[in-house]
Every structure is written in C-alpha cells, then in structure tokens.
Amino acid sequence: MLVSGSGTILESMLRAAVDVALVCADRPCRGLDVAFASGVESLMVDRKSYGGFADSFDREGFTVELTEALRSRDVDLVAMAGFGTIVTGTFHRAFPGRVLNTHPSLLPAFKGWHAVTQALEAGVSETGCTVHIATEALDDGPILARRRVPVLSGDTEESLHERIKLVERELYPLVVTRVMASLSEGIEPSLLAGTLEEAE
C-alpha cells in the first residue's frame, strides 16, 4: 500500500484482514505509524530527497526508486491510499494493470484533487467513491467498483468528504480482497472491470 497521510484506509484494510505485505510512504506520516503498530513492513521513499514540492521535483528519479523498492520485495499488487505523489509511466509499466486507487467521486465525473468541492459546486444530488485501476492518466483507468453517497442540504466539503470516506473504507478493502482472490486464480484485475459495480 502507498500512503501519504493518516492511514485510515490502511487501518480499514487491516481490519478487513487484507494481507498487506508492505506499506510505503512518500513523506513522514501517520500511515507509517499504523504499519509499525500492526507489524507490517514499512519504508519511506521521501520525495524531499528528489526536490520535495518544488518545481524542480525529480518525478522520474523518485518513481524509479519507488518502483525498485517494490519490485525488490516481489510486490504484485499495489493499492494507493491517499498517496500524494503522481508517479510516471515507469511505475505503471512495472506493475501493468496492477495498481489500484480509490477516488472520492463517481468517476468519470470530477477527476483530480478537488473532486468533493467540484461536486458541491456542480450542485449534484449524489456523488460517491470509485475504486479503479490507476493508469498514467489521472483518475482515468478501468473502473472496478463504485458506491453512491447522497449530497445533503447544508453539506460542506468536510462533511461530504467524511461520509465518502466512511463508504470508501468499506468498499476499497472489499475490492482489493476480490482482486487478490482473482489474481490467485490467474485472472488479471482489468478483466474485473465493471463486474464489481456497486459491490456489496
């Protein structure tokens, strides 16, 4: 699992008994503490070593180190969980079709970093979360599952996002579990696209 923040999705994976082999972060964060407390191997590929958040950030250099770190541990499925660094094609070519992500909207609507705000500004009556296969194009990979969340009168970005997160913490572990089971049967994640829609 790739993390950058509080580790709440990681906690939901562990509660669901997902076999997390490695947690990797791109910065110091609580997610690493969650991994340590749970006895899961963790490491940090710190983007600060590649220029941090400056315009000079060496994205490819960071991506290569991250890719090599995961490949050296025989990782065969990657689940992004609020991972705050966009990686290059090098990463996706190393794990073709095996990088999962969760996004706080009903993709293809509201791609990008401000999906919840965009949903509120658009005045939609519902939004939700989507688990999809990550590709080089941001939030554009094959959709594995979505779950709807109503937008309530008076919702703020914070209140709506928190309700989406509650659903996300249920849906993402479920999808990852199903993908892992399929991989054990020789079925690639891309073949599951559309089959887990509104997964329960």
Note the pLDDT of residue 198.
Answer: 59
Residue 147 has pLDDT above 60, yes or no: yes
Classify burial at 123, counting beta carbons within 10 Å of its beta carbon; exposed 0-12, middle 13-18, buried 19 or more: exposed
Question: pLDDT-derived band of residue 194, with 50, 70 and 90 as boundaries?
Answer: confident
Among 103, 114, 132, 161, the active-site one is 103
* Mean pLDDT, rounded, of the chain: 94
Assess whether 161 carries a catalytic annotation.
no
Domains (range + CATH), the chain = 1-95 (3.40.50.170), 100-200 (3.40.50.170)
- Entry pTM: 0.93
Nearest to 126 by CA among 140, 116, 134: 116
- In the β-sheet with 126-133, what is the strand arrangement from edge to edge? 41-44, 22-25, 2-3, 78-81, 99-103, 126-133, 143-150
H or E stretch including 61? helix 59-71
